[in-house]
């Protein structure tokens, strides 16, 4: 899908309660597929989302990391410790870790980004 076409669909579909017939439509399916299969569309959608939330993605090695760190925070900007959806944490001290969901605040510190391989500076 062309990025321009994707942007158009994104404006129509994103963040809205969509009726079942829209969710079943070919247009919506193509939009969903583009998010997962088209890197340009995916990247654009992530940047758009983070920008609309006021989250600065500039300081991250890649968009995947920025998005996953964003997803790890609650509306106050604090780390969500008990959420099994959270797959990465970033601490104020500047290190990153993978949370172990065993009911405690255990985590495994990582030195490289799991998505782009960049060395994570401390």
What is the smallest separation between the CB atom of 81 and Zn ion, expressed in angstroms?
23
What is the smallest separation between the CB atom of 120 and Zn ion, expressed in angstroms?
8
Residue 40 or 116 having the CB closest to Zn ion:
116
Q: Are 104 and 89 in contact (CB under 8 A)?
A: no
Residue 10 or 68 having the CB closest to Zn ion:
68
**Binding residues for Zn ion (CB under 5 A):** 61-62, 65, 113, 115-116, 118
**Number of residues assigned to the chain:** 122
Residue 24 or 118 having the CB closest to Zn ion:
118
Residues 6+ apart with CB under 8 A from 121: 94
Q: Are 6 and 41 in contact (CB under 8 A)?
A: yes
Residue 9 or 86 having the CB closest to Zn ion:
86
**DSSP secondary structure string, 54-87?**
T---TTSSSHHHHHHHHHTB-TTS-B-SS-TT--
Cα(70)–Cα(56) distance, integer angstroms: 9
What is the smallest separation between the CB atom of 12 and Zn ion, expressed in angstroms?
31
């Amino acid at each position: 899908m062309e990025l321009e076409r994707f942007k158009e669909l994104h404006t129509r579909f994103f963040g809205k309660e969509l009726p079942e017939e829209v969710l079943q439509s070919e247009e919506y399916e193509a939009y969903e597929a583009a998010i997962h299969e088209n890197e340009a569309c995916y990247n654009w959608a992530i940047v758009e989302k983070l920008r609309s939330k006021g989250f600065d993605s500039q300081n991250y090695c890649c968009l995947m990391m920025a998005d996953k760190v964003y997803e790890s925070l609650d509306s106050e900007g604090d780390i969500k410790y008990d959420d099994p959806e959270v797959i990465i944490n970033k601490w104020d001290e500047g290190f990153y870790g993978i949370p172990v969901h065993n009911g405690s605040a255990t985590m495994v510190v990582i030195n490289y980004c799991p998505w782009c391989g960049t060395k994570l500076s401390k």
